[in-house]
Structure 1
Amino acid sequence: MVNAVLRGDRHAFGMLIKQTEGLVAQITFKMISSPGDRKDIAQDIYLKAFKNIGGFKFKSKLSTWVGQIAYNTCLHYLEKRRLVLLENYGTNDEGDEHQLPDESDNAEALLSQQYLKTVLNKKLDQLQPLYKTLISLYHQEELSYAEIAEITALPEGTVKNYIFRARKQLRENILKNYKRDEL
């Protein structure tokens, strides 16, 4: 596919976009909060990929290479706007507890499952951009620690550590506002 893109085959580049759009979306949606900026950044990512495809060294998967471009583009955006990738923000100190729906039958169980997913996504969105990105790449895109390390240019041990911290912070944020025995 890389050679076809180098020859100017637009269909091949379209296939590249189709194969990597989920990964690019995960990275941009977790690192960038502004929906309008996400779209511009995604276009910028693929423009950079198209311009730099000749520099692809076949040392990793093509999707990992595009993921690196996405991560670095988002990181540059955050740095340019002086936004911090990791800090203590996003916690909800309101202290209000929420009741979870009763699971008495299948319909209610399904609603409860959807409710838990909504709670998890809400709390995930409150994590720092780097933590959100790492959790998404590992759990939703199912990338290995090595692939995530390659995308983020972080040591593999650091990736593992940050994912551990992100999970811990996510758990603490959820338990802070919801009764432990109801989750």
Structure 2
Amino acid sequence: MRTLPTSSATDQQLVAQVLGGNTAAFGQVVQRTEGLVTQLIFKMIRHPADRPDLAQEVYLKVFKNLAGFKFQAKLSTWVGQVTYNTCLHYLEKKQLVLLDPAEAVPDDAAEDGRRALPPATSDDPETALFDQDLAGILGAAIEQLPPLYRTLISLYHQQELSYEEIAQITSLPDGTVKNYLFRARKQLKQHLLARYHRHDL
């Protein structure tokens, strides 16, 4: 039976190849998921020195537990869930807070705000420079949010995951994900308006 190249293999084929001893297939698992894993670790963990060890721990867990993956979600979503839980365990061990309980009070309404954060890019050098400056301002403001809010903003607006996928990764209900995203964007807007004049943004 011909083995498909790992780059074009489905999740099921890729997992089967890894479990069959194909090390290149596991390299493809890493390549397909490293962007998501990196974003989760960077948004949840503030200490740069701890991030590489956590990434290594994530992929060791993925390799060790791959036989138990039941394909109830995409492989990348499952790897994201392993990453999120690994980071949670780290934070608990360090007695660090993912989200202040005062921030967890639900709002009555949550707006959708579909993919509104990343600035548009332009071929015009002056506009591109402005977009770069704006992206820097926005990135710095996002870093001021609580770790959970930073993480949800990253998953939704940068990784472009659905509410359902984010809920699977974080084990939060869909409604809670939407509510926390609303609160995160609200805090982000308040931070930006407090620090910069409207005409500067």
Q: Give the Cα–Cα distance (whole angstroms) in 1 for the partners of residues 198 and 155 of structure 2.
A: 27
Q: Among the aligned pairs, what percent are the same residue?
A: 60
Q: TM-score, normalised by structure 2?
A: 0.80
After TM superposition, the structure 1 = structure 2 runs for residues 66-105 of structure 1, keeping only pairs within 5 Å, are 66-87=79-100
Q: Residue type matched to 1:83 in 2? A: L
Who is 1:136 aligned against? 154
Q: Give the Cα–Cα distance (whole angstroms) in 1 for the partners of residues 60 and 96 of structure 2.
A: 24
Matched, 1:112 2:125: no
- Name the SS of the counterpart of 2:99 in structure 1: coil
Who is 1:178 aligned against? 196
RMSD over aligned CA atoms reads 1.3
After TM superposition, the structure 1 = structure 2 runs for residues 10-49 of structure 1, keeping only pairs within 5 Å, are 10-49=23-62
Matched, 1:5 2:18: yes
Does 1 or 2 have the higher relative contact order (CA < 8 Å, sep 6+)? 1
Q: Give the Cα–Cα distance (whole angstroms) in 1 for the partners of residues 75 and 57 of structure 2.
A: 17
Who is 2:67 aligned against? 54
Task: Give 1:182 deviation, angstroms.
Answer: 2.9
Task: Give 1:107 deviation, angstroms.
Answer: 3.8
Q: Give the Cα–Cα distance (whole angstroms) in 1 for the partners of residues 125 and 22 of structure 2.
A: 49
Q: Give the Cα–Cα distance (whole angstroms) in 1 for the partners of residues 125 and 23 of structure 2.
A: 47
Q: Give every structure 1 segment of 4 or more consecutive aligned residues whose post-TM-superposition deviation is greater than 4 Å.
A: none
Unaligned residue ranges in structure 1 (runs of 5+): 90-105
Q: Residue type matched to 2:152 in 1? A: L
Q: Give the Cα–Cα distance (whole angstroms) in 1 for the partners of residues 69 and 30 of structure 2.
A: 15
Q: Give the Cα–Cα distance (whole angstroms) in 1 for the partners of residues 144 and 51 of structure 2.
A: 17
Q: Give the Cα–Cα distance (whole angstroms) in 1 for the partners of residues 28 and 45 of structure 2.
A: 25
Who is 2:117 aligned against? none
Q: Residue type matched to 1:156 in 2? A: D
Unaligned residue ranges in structure 2 (runs of 5+): 1-13, 104-123
Tell me the number of residue pairs that the alignment of Structure 1 and Structure 2 aligns. 167
Q: TM-score, normalised by structure 1?
A: 0.88
Who is 1:165 aligned against? 183
Task: Give 1:181 deviation, angstroms.
Answer: 3.0
Task: Give 1:123 deviation, angstroms.
Answer: 0.5
Q: Residue type matched to 1:163 in 2? A: L
Q: Give the Cα–Cα distance (whole angstroms) in 2 for the partners of residues 163 and 79 of structure 1.
A: 23
Who is 1:95 aligned against? none
- Name the SS of the counterpart of 2:142 in structure 1: helix
Q: Give the Cα–Cα distance (whole angstroms) in 2 for the partners of residues 157 and 8 of structure 1.
A: 41
Offset from partner CA, 1:90-131 (integer Å, 9 cap, x none) = xxxxxxxxxxxxxxxx54333222111100000101111100
